[in-house]
């Protein structure tokens, strides 16, 4: 038997604070996982994926105990979705949110809830900075999640978590029913593969270009890089980790300390297109279900919009 209480699921804590100010009652979850970074292998249920993600995030960012506790509580609450009168998913247009809503829809679909129990709010504006007056009117505009959107989510999630990069490209080339922002987000994820020519991902290249513009704090470099994005691609902590990757590599592309980063000689050659970083520092990264490793991983050909 379900209750009249609503379960509201969104991307993170900043939106939860506004929910409370706006008097949007019920149980609230912030999903928080940056699924566009690190491994998300296919064939796992929610809890199996969470175990992989906690291990990666703890190694990358620390705070293992806090992350485990938060994700376990999050997962357990979502697993109780059948106890709520309605489940409302509040998400934005950027890739961070689009991958989260995929994972949540797939999980809810596996639970065989009654039709009409799940609703979605997908905003082309960022929810975190919204005022109460901006956020509250979105709730009456929510749309019931149909069988078609669940089917789209399952297919897109399977492609994102596949070990075949061709599946990701397929997802970037088709519209997903009920998920109007997903196609652009997946295309942006394809650009995180090392590019033909210099071996940098788009995010790494933008970080280098931000450093090349002149000295600045990490926060200033982050703003410069994000100004080149169509939609916010990553949070500041993720960007700072990219900077450290470029600085602490076996073949560093930047050197110095915060406020005084500069390009190395190799960094200048790579950003000019005169050198391939992967010939000096073989890759070891995950994108969804694909483990990129060695000196000859799949590359992104941005001119032709395909993998090479």
Residue 19's CATH number: 3.40.1360.10
3-state SS assignment for residue 130: coil
The rounded distance, in Å, linking the Cα atoms of 40 and 162 is 9
In a domain, 18, yes or no: yes
- pLDDT tens for residues 82-107? 999 999 999 999 999 999 999 999 99
| Helix 165-172 / helix 147-160 crossing angle, nearest 10 deg | 140
Same domain, 250 and 123: no
- pLDDT tens for residues 226-243? 999 999 998 999 999 999
Same domain, 201 and 224: yes
pLDDT grade for 129, boundaries at 50, 70 and 90: very high
Of the three residues 155, 188, 221, the one that is the final residue of a domain is 188
Owner of token pair 């149980």:
27
**How many CB atoms lie under 10 A from the CB of residue 220?**
15
Cβ-based burial of 252 (10 A; exposed 0-12, middle 13-18, buried ≥19): middle
**What's the total number of domains in the chain?**
2
Q: Is 196 left (phi over 0), alpha (psi -120 to 50) or beta?
A: beta
Contact 40, 53 (CB under 8 A): yes
In a domain, 17, yes or no: yes
38-52 average pLDDT score: 97
pLDDT at 2 over 90: no
CB-side exposure of 188: number of CA atoms within 13 Å? 21
In a domain, 116, yes or no: yes
In a domain, 65, yes or no: yes
**Helix, strand, coil proportions of the chain in percent (round to 5)?**
45, 15, 35
In a domain, 108, yes or no: yes
Q: Which helix (H) or strand (E) holds 263?
A: strand 262-263
Question: Over pLDDT 70: what percentage of the chain?
Answer: 99
Of the three residues 154, 188, 222, the one that is the final residue of a domain is 188
Same domain, 61 and 83: yes
Q: What is the mean pLDDT of the chain?
A: 95
- Residues 6+ away with beta carbon under 8 Å from 8: 19, 24, 26, 27, 28, 29, 88, 90
- pLDDT tens for residues 133-142? 999 999 999 9
CA 143 to chain centre: 23
- Residues 6+ away with beta carbon under 8 Å from 7: 26, 27, 29, 77, 78, 80, 81, 84, 86, 87, 88
- Residues 6+ away with beta carbon under 8 Å from 79: 46, 111
In the DSSP assignment, the letter for residue 195 is B
Same domain, 157 and 203: no
Same domain, 286 and 137: no
- pLDDT tens for residues 138-155? 999 999 999 999 999 999
Report the DSSP beta bridge partners of residue 123. Answer: 92
pLDDT at 3: 62
- pLDDT tens for residues 270-297? 999 999 999 999 999 999 999 999 989 9
Same domain, 122 and 207: no
Domain with 239, as residue range(s), is: 193-307
Which CATH number goes with the domain that contains 291? Answer: 1.10.10.10
pLDDT at 1: 41
Of the three residues 188, 221, 236, the one that is the final residue of a domain is 188
Q: Is 139 left (phi over 0), alpha (psi -120 to 50) or beta?
A: alpha
Same domain, 128 and 262: no
Same domain, 82 and 59: yes
| Helix 64-79 / helix 95-110 crossing angle, nearest 10 deg | 50
Same domain, 222 and 298: yes
Report the DSSP beta bridge partners of residue 38. Answer: 287
Instruction: Report the range out of 12-16, 61-65, 218-222 with the highest average pLDDT.
Output: 218-222
In a domain, 244, yes or no: yes
pLDDT at 4 over 80: no
In a domain, 281, yes or no: yes
In a domain, 1, yes or no: no
Same domain, 230 and 270: yes
Same domain, 60 and 100: yes
Same domain, 242 and 121: no
3-state SS assignment for residue 244: helix
Instruction: Tell me whether strands 27-30 and 6-10 are parallel, antiparallel or unpaired.
Output: parallel
């Amino acid at each position: 038997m379900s209750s009249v209480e609503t379960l509201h699921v969104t991307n993170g804590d900043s939106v939860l604070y506004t929910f409370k100010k706006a008097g949007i009652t019920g149980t609230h979850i912030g999903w928080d996982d940056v699924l566009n970074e690190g491994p998300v292998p296919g064939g796992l249920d929610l809890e199996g994926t969470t175990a992989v993600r906690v291990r990666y995030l703890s190694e990358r960012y620390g705070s293992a105990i806090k992350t485990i506790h938060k994700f376990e509580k999050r997962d357990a609450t979502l697993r109780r979705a059948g106890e709520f009168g309605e489940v409302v998913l509040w998400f934005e247009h950027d890739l961070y949110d689009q991958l989260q809503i995929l994972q949540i829809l797939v999980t809810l679909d596996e639970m065989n809830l009654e039709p009409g129990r799940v609703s979605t709010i997908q905003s082309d504006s960022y929810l975190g900075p919204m005022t109460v007056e901006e956020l509250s009117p979105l709730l009456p505009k929510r749309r019931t999640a149909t069988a078609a959107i669940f089917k789209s989510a399952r297919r897109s999630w399977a492609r994102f978590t596949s070990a075949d990069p061709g599946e990701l490209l397929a997802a970037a080339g088709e519209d997903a029913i009920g998920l109007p922002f997903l196609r652009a987000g997946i295309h942006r994820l394809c650009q995180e593969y090392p590019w033909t020519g210099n071996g940098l991902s788009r995010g790494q290249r933008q970080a280098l270009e931000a450093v090349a513009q002149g000295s600045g704090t990490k926060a200033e470099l982050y703003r410069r890089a994000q100004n080149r994005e169509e939609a916010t691609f990553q949070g500041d902590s993720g960007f700072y980790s990219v900077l450290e990757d470029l600085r602490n590599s076996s073949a560093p592309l930047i050197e110095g300390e915060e406020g005084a980063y500069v390009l190395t000689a190799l960094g200048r050659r790579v950003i000019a297109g005169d050198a391939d970083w992967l010939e000096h520092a073989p890759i070891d990264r995950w994108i969804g279900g694909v483990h990129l490793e060695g000196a000859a991983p799949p590359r992104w050909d941005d001119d032709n919009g395909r993998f090479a």
